[in-house]
A and B are shown apart, each in its own frame.
Chain A
Amino acid sequence: MYPADFHYTKEHEWVRAAGDGTATVGITFHAQKELGDIVYVDLPKTGTAVQAGKTMGSVESVKAVSDVYAPVSGEVVEINEMLAQAPEKLNEDPHGEAWLVKIRLSAPEEIQKLLSAEDYQSYVGAE
Chain B
Amino acid sequence: MLTAIGARSLEDLYSHLPAEVLQRSPLAIAPGKSEYDIVDYFRARGAECGADYPSFLGAGVYRHYRPVLVDTVVSRGEFLTSYTPYQAEIAQGTLTTIFEFQTMICQLTGMEAANASMYDGSTAVPEAAMMAARITGRDHIAVSGALHPEYRQVLETSVRNQGLPVTGFGYDEATGGLDVESLERAVDGRTAAVIIQSPNFLGVVENIKQAAEIAHRAGALLIVAFTEAVSLGLLEPPREADIVCGELQSFAISPSYGGPFAGIMACKEKFLRQMPGRIVGQTKDVDGRRAFCLTLATREQHIRREKATSNICTNQALIALMATVFLSLYGKQGLRELAAQNLSKAHYLAAGLPLRFSGPFFNEFVVSANGRRPEDINRELLERGIIGGLPLGRFYPELEGSMLLCATEMSRRQHMDAVTAVFAAQEALA
Q: Interface residues, chain A, CB within 8 Å of chain B?
A: 40, 60-65
Contact = CB atoms under 8 A, between A and B. Distances in A.
Contacts of B412: none
Contacts of B273: 40
Contacts of A64: 298, 303
Given A40-B273, A65-B304, 13 more contacts: A40-B298, A60-B298, A61-B298, A62-B297, A62-B298, A63-B297, A63-B298, A63-B303, A64-B298, A64-B303, A65-B298, A65-B303, A65-B307
Give chain A's interface secondary structure class: strand
A40 B297 CA distance: 12
Interface of B: 273, 297-298, 303-304, 307
Contacts of B297: 62-63
B365 to A, nearest CB: 47
Nearest to A55: B307
A12 to B, nearest CB: 18
Contacts of A62: 297-298
Contacts of B303: 63-65
Nearest to A39: B298
Contacts of A60: 298
A29 to B, nearest CB: 22
A56 B266 CA distance: 28
A122 to B, nearest CB: 31
A40 B303 CA distance: 15
15 contacts: A40-B273, A40-B298, A60-B298, A61-B298, A62-B297, A62-B298, A63-B297, A63-B298, A63-B303, A64-B298, A64-B303, A65-B298, A65-B303, A65-B304, A65-B307
A54 to B, nearest CB: 15
B302 to A, nearest CB: 9
A7 B176 CA distance: 64
Contacts of A65: 298, 303-304, 307
B272 to A, nearest CB: 11
Residue of B273, B298, B307 with most chain A CB atoms under a 10 A cut-off:
B298
Nearest to B297: A63
Nearest to B308: A65
A32 to B, nearest CB: 16
A63 B307 CA distance: 14
A62 B307 CA distance: 16
A127 B319 CA distance: 48
Contacts of A61: 298
A7 to B, nearest CB: 28
Contacts of A63: 297-298, 303
